[in-house]
Structure formats: structure tokens, C-alpha cells
Structure 1
Amino acid sequence: MNEKKKLTLKDIGKELGISVSTVSRALKEHPDIAQETIKLVKEYAESHNYVPNLLAVNFRKNRTFNIGLIVPELVHHFFSTVISGAISEANKQGYNLMVSQSNDILKDEVLASRAMLNSSVDGLLISISNETHEGKHIMEFLEEGKPVVQFDKITDELPTPKVIVDDFNGAYGAVNHLITEGFTKIAHIRGRRDVKNASERCEGYKKALEDAGLEQQGYWVKVCVKISEQEGYDFTKELMEGENPPNAIFCITDLVALGSMRYLKENNYNIPKDIGIIGFSNWMLSKVISPRLSSVEQHGFQMGVESTKLLLEMIKNHDVESNQTVELKTELIVRESSQLSQL
């Protein structure tokens, strides 16, 4: 190894075939680490002139009491509620929250995460961009002994804890509600195929139709890229002007559902008499538009609280190896846009 380069925990772990967390704990003589491992790590560190990073090695006394949070969009209703929950819990435990957004672009997420790392945050909360898959830039936190918790939009490629909602059953319940209300030709404007929560919602949609014995048409499933209101408008136009239009649409988010409703209103469709609409995320707007939009509540504030609790517990325990998944239950909020039975 080139001795001119500053030796890191990652370097030691790679040479000895052990994790960064084990190296860190061995240097602190943590009681959970075997004496042989402690001796091995310390001897290697000493013989290679390892100079400890005070923030990483003396974790307890040198915390910055700042944690980072990166979301795709700051102005998104769901993410704003997550941020509120995270701030509430962080402040309660004496921490500050540094917030940034990725704009759902990998390049911007990399820049934001490295800015957080350079600011010496004690850990990171992140909802990954649509373009993030492997997340090497996120692994840099773990390599520095800093824990990471993923929430909402996640990748299984990263060995970190995850806080998610039950997207499959949330979608299943939404579509089953439409079926119970008498809708039989149900379309789905879904999210990107390479995004985990979008795929879970689509699977829930398909399973509800299958269990009810209803027809499934490939052309009734439209795939968003930007998850935008305009995509909701454009895809609803395609669906309704096709040869076999649906009589209900389940949308990946409320924002997409708003675009769908805008097209339907402009073209004199009665909601829900002619076509039912249901969204996902329960935005504030869904309660005030006419007709009010049925939606699936994701409990964003609770997600922010639970994600922050988990991260701060990991910081307290010097833990970067936890890989648990916390799943929050969704709640179907039924309003006029899907209630044929109330006509």
C-alpha cells in the first residue's frame, strides 16, 4: 500500500477482509469484538501509521449533532410532511437537520450527498432519485462509519435500513375499493418500471384485478417517467380516446390523478358517474378539489419520525451494519371521486 496516502478504515477493512464497522469497533476495543480481531486491527493500523479521523473514531465525543436528509423534491406534499416529521424528532433528540433535494436526478443526488459528507453530518436520511440504483456515493457514508437510512424510494442494492410504506397492499386496497364500487374496467397510470415502490403498487393493482376475475389489458397500464400532472393528463387522454376506454383509473400519485381529472373535466366526463379516479399519497389538494379525490394515505410525518429515530439510534450505537426494514401501513381515504354508491 502507498504509505503517502492517508490510511482509512475502509483500507484496513479491505486488507483484513472485515467490515468498516468491525474495524471501527476494534480500534475502540468494543466488547462485542473478539480480542484476536482487536489485536489484528490494532497491529495493522500501528504498522501502517494509521492516523485516526477524530470524527469517525471518537464518535461519541465528536458528533456534530447534524444529520443530513435528501429528498427528490422539497415542494412535494409527501416529502414536506416527511421533512416535518424528521425535524420534529431530530430536534427532540438535540440534533439539527440539513435538508437538500436531488430533483430526481442522480448527478444532483451525488453532489448533495457529498456536500453532506464534507459537512461532517453524523448520518444520512435519503429517499433516492429515480435514476439511483447502485448508490456508490451513498456507500461513502458507510465507509466513513456514518449510518444511512433509506425511506420511501429505496434500492435493495444498498445494505442499509429502510423505512417504507406497504405499497402493495395500499394499491390492492385502492383497486379493490373501485371494484367494490362497481367499476370493472380499471386502468393504472403507474411509475417507472425501475423504481421499487412503483412496481409494488402496480403488482397490487394487478393482484386485485386477478382476485376479482376482472380483465387486464396491457394498454390500460401507462408508464410515467416524471410522475407529473401533465403525464396524468396525457395518459388519460390516450386511455379515453382509445378503442376500449376504462371506467376507472388508479394513479401512482395524487399529482398524476390531478392531471387525469383535469383532462376529464375539460372533456365533460362526470366523476365518478362516468369514470372513477383514485390517487396515492393523500395530498392536501385532494381534500379541496371538486370532486374530492380518494387517495391512499402514506403517513409521511410518521415516516420522517421513524426514519430519524432509527438513524439516531444507529449513531448512538456506532452501528453502520443494520439492514432492517420498517414497514408502515397505508390507509385508504375514500372521497367522492370513487364513490358510485353515493350517487
Structure 2
Amino acid sequence: MKKNRVTITDIARELNISPSTVSRALKDHPALKRETKDAVKALAEKWDYQPNLLALSLLNRKSNTIGVIVPEITSHFFSAIITGIQDVVGKSDYNIMICLSNESYEEELILVKKLLNMQIDGVLVSPSSETDDFDHFRKLQKNGIPVVVFDRDCPGLEADKVLVDDYSGAFQAVEYLIDRGCKNIAHLGGPLNLSTTGHRLNGYLDALRKNNMPIRREHIVHVPGFSHKDGIKPAKKLFQLDNPPDAIFAMNDNIAISAMHVAKKMGLKIPEEISILGFDDEPHSSFFTPTLSTVWQPVYSIGMLSARILLSHLKNKDNQLKFRKEIFKPELVIRNSSK
């Protein structure tokens, strides 16, 4: 048999019928005789015929593919979201294509352009930490491609959004530290462009204000990224202050663990001399010594709901659905790194 990919034309030639008849037989067209359909399907199975999805997408102007743009994939956070997306999309007629922006606005622009050229059907996106202009997402929408934004907000962009109440999570975390007697609470914040950074910073500030605690600007230090190494220098900066903190609320668990590492290197006891609290509840957070107190958010559910909303648009293209904004509530998880 041919070493090249089997086509409908190959099957048609072998059975001495037209390619259109083969196509209809594979779709179980009711107008064809049962013996014709059985012969076509049997030969297709014998020769391991696989439909050319690219050709079908060009013909139907529909790729049956959903693009998922994420900043990275190595953390539990985004891998869990992608799992939630796949568990929903996998039960539909659509496939997913995962695209990494690597926290780069320029790479994100290139990815959107490629998805447009591929005639993608819909896009799920968590924007990069550099992204503060959303015209490339509007371009998708202008081309009839629905967009659902998840985790990181795109202020001013009219689209479906699935987010977490970062403000509430941060407020709970800082108020908990205050209730446990912490007097000088510092914040290791995220990159300034991100909506999550602003919401968590505001939660931190409002918790201090509500409890009449001093706000010291030197106690607020922003990290350049989200990996363990990104938190080392900012944490050292806090501990080397003339008035060092007795507690740190960190942007995420990786940064909190960086602060724990620096504190131990400097001989500080956790939580007796310094309480540390993170955000995300990554699985590894409960395996450090001491175990990390943190803020849990339902990342798997974020992925599932985002996918369901996008599929609802794809199934109801004739009836324009209103944009949805769904916000999940986070929960405080207390372990041993805080008083």
C-alpha cells in the first residue's frame, strides 16, 4: 500500500467510485446504499485513513480548534488550569492548542497573529505580565473569534472573564497576620502591569488601614517575575532594613518560599521572628519546613468554567450572548509559616 498519507481519492480509485461518494459514505449519508458505506468504511479502516483536518478547516472556514494562550506552563497553577480546560473541551468536537507567551507582550502578539491565520475558532487567554494594550485581542473579536480572559484581567477589554477575588484573598491574609500580633507587615508584590498585582496590593493596604496599622513604603517591594530566584533580592532588601518586618505577605507561593529561604540564611526563626504567607496554594507548599501558610484559589475550576463559557459562544454564534464576568472567592490556608 502507499507509504504516503491515504486520501479520499485513493479510496475512491480502489473502489471505482467518486471521491464525493467516499466522503458521504464516511459521514454515513442516508442516501447511500449500506453496502457502499460498509465497503468504504472497511477500506478506510484497513488503510488507516485519517481525515485532513487542515483541508477541512480551509473548506469549512472552521478549524475545530481552540487556542489557549498562557504566560508559562511549568507551574502547577497554569498546568491545573489547562487540565480543567482540556477536561471540558475534550468532551466536545474541539481540540486545544496551547501557546506560551513566556510573559512577553511581543510573543503574545505573534501568537495571536498565528492563531488568526490558522482560522482558530476561539481563544482562552491569560495575558503576559508585559501586556497593557489589548488591541490584538480586540482584533480576534473583530474577526468573529470569541475571547475568554482568565486569571489576569484586561481592564477596558469587553470580553468574558473568569477571575479570582485577589483583593479579598490579600485582605484576609494580612488581617490574619494582624490578628496574630504582627506589627510590621511587608508585601512582596508582583510585576506592576498585572491586574492581580494591583488587587493584592490594595487588599494589603486596606487591611492595614482598617486596623490602623502604619503603611511603610519601604515595606512594599515588587518582584520582577514569579520564580523562586525572583524573590531572593527583594526579600533580602526587606530583611536588611533598619526597621525589618515581622511578617511578609508575598504575591505568590514561589516568592514566599524565597523569603523563607532568605530568612533561614539570616538565622531568623519562622514563625517566631518572621511570619510568611503566600498566595496560590501550590502543592509543594505543604512539603517545605515549615509548611507554608497561603491563599488557596480554585485553579482547576477556573479552567473548566473558562472553557464552558467559550464553548457556549461557539455553539450559539447566531445568538449573541452577553459577556460574563465570573469571580471565584479564594480561601485562607493556615500552616506553620505564620503565627
Matched to 1:298, the amino acid is Q
The equivalent residue for 2:165 is 166
Q: Which runs of 5+ in 1 are unaligned?
A: 1-53
* Post-superposition offset of 1:141: 1.3
The equivalent residue for 1:183 is 182
The equivalent residue for 2:18 is none
Structure 1 length normalisation: TM-score? 0.79
- Paired positions, count: 283
Question: Structure 1 residues 267 and 124, CA, compared in 2 at 3 Å: closer, same or farther?
Answer: same
Show the 5 A alignment for 1:246-257.
246-257=245-256
* Post-superposition offset of 1:303: 0.3
Residue 108 (structure 1) aligned with residue 87 (structure 2): no
Residue 145 (structure 1) aligned with residue 144 (structure 2): yes
* Post-superposition offset of 1:320: 6.7
The equivalent residue for 1:330 is 330
Q: Report the secondary structure of 1:162's partner residue.
A: strand
- Once residues 321 and 227 of structure 1 are traced to their aligned partners in structure 2, the CA distance between those partners, rounded to angstroms, is 35
Can you list the C-alpha shifts for 1:30-65, whole angstroms capped at 9, x where unaligned?
xxxxxxxxxxxxxxxxxxxxxxxx979x9xx76432
- Once residues 57 and 327 of structure 2 are traced to their aligned partners in structure 1, the CA distance between those partners, rounded to angstroms, is 32
- Once residues 80 and 292 of structure 2 are traced to their aligned partners in structure 1, the CA distance between those partners, rounded to angstroms, is 19
Question: Share of identical aligned residues, percent?
Answer: 34
- Once residues 326 and 113 of structure 2 are traced to their aligned partners in structure 1, the CA distance between those partners, rounded to angstroms, is 26
The equivalent residue for 1:51 is none
The equivalent residue for 1:90 is 89
* Post-superposition offset of 1:281: 0.7
- Once residues 83 and 172 of structure 1 are traced to their aligned partners in structure 2, the CA distance between those partners, rounded to angstroms, is 28
The equivalent residue for 1:303 is 302
Q: Which runs of 5+ in 2 are unaligned?
A: 1-55
Contact 1:67/1:95 (<8 A) preserved = yes
The equivalent residue for 1:25 is none
* Post-superposition offset of 1:69: 0.2
Q: Report the secondary structure of 1:92's partner residue.
A: coil
Q: Report the secondary structure of 1:277's partner residue.
A: strand
Show the 5 A alignment for 1:283-322.
283-318=282-317, 322=322
Q: RMSD of the alignment, in Å?
A: 1.9
Question: Structure 1 residues 220 and 312, CA, compared in 2 at 3 Å: closer, same or farther?
Answer: same
Structure 2 length normalisation: TM-score? 0.80
* Post-superposition offset of 1:139: 1.7
Contact 1:134/1:157 (<8 A) preserved = no
- Once residues 129 and 227 of structure 1 are traced to their aligned partners in structure 2, the CA distance between those partners, rounded to angstroms, is 12
Q: Report the secondary structure of 1:249's partner residue.
A: strand
- Once residues 104 and 157 of structure 1 are traced to their aligned partners in structure 2, the CA distance between those partners, rounded to angstroms, is 20
Question: Structure 1 residues 132 and 163, CA, compared in 2 at 3 Å: closer, same or farther?
Answer: same
Contact 2:63/2:118 (<8 A) preserved = no
Contact 1:251/1:280 (<8 A) preserved = yes
- Once residues 320 and 279 of structure 2 are traced to their aligned partners in structure 1, the CA distance between those partners, rounded to angstroms, is 32
- Once residues 326 and 156 of structure 2 are traced to their aligned partners in structure 1, the CA distance between those partners, rounded to angstroms, is 17
- Once residues 163 and 82 of structure 1 are traced to their aligned partners in structure 2, the CA distance between those partners, rounded to angstroms, is 11
- Once residues 195 and 79 of structure 1 are traced to their aligned partners in structure 2, the CA distance between those partners, rounded to angstroms, is 16
Matched to 2:87, the amino acid is S
Matched to 1:150, the amino acid is V
The equivalent residue for 2:10 is none
- Once residues 270 and 91 of structure 2 are traced to their aligned partners in structure 1, the CA distance between those partners, rounded to angstroms, is 44
- Once residues 88 and 269 of structure 2 are traced to their aligned partners in structure 1, the CA distance between those partners, rounded to angstroms, is 44
- Once residues 222 and 195 of structure 1 are traced to their aligned partners in structure 2, the CA distance between those partners, rounded to angstroms, is 15
Question: Structure 1 residues 206 and 182, CA, compared in 2 at 3 Å: closer, same or farther?
Answer: same
When structure 1 is superposed on structure 2, of 155-164 and 77-86 the one drifting more is 155-164
Contact 1:142/1:320 (<8 A) preserved = no
Show the 5 A alignment for 1:146-295.
146-295=145-294
Matched to 2:291, the amino acid is R
Q: Which runs of 4+ in 1 moved over 6 A?
A: none
Question: Structure 1 residues 160 and 275, CA, compared in 2 at 3 Å: closer, same or farther?
Answer: same
* Post-superposition offset of 1:245: 0.5
* Post-superposition offset of 1:172: 0.4
Contact 1:73/1:101 (<8 A) preserved = yes
The equivalent residue for 2:31 is none
Residue 134 (structure 1) aligned with residue 124 (structure 2): no
Show the 5 A alignment for 1:62-73.
63-73=62-72
- Once residues 155 and 84 of structure 2 are traced to their aligned partners in structure 1, the CA distance between those partners, rounded to angstroms, is 24
Residue 74 (structure 1) aligned with residue 78 (structure 2): no
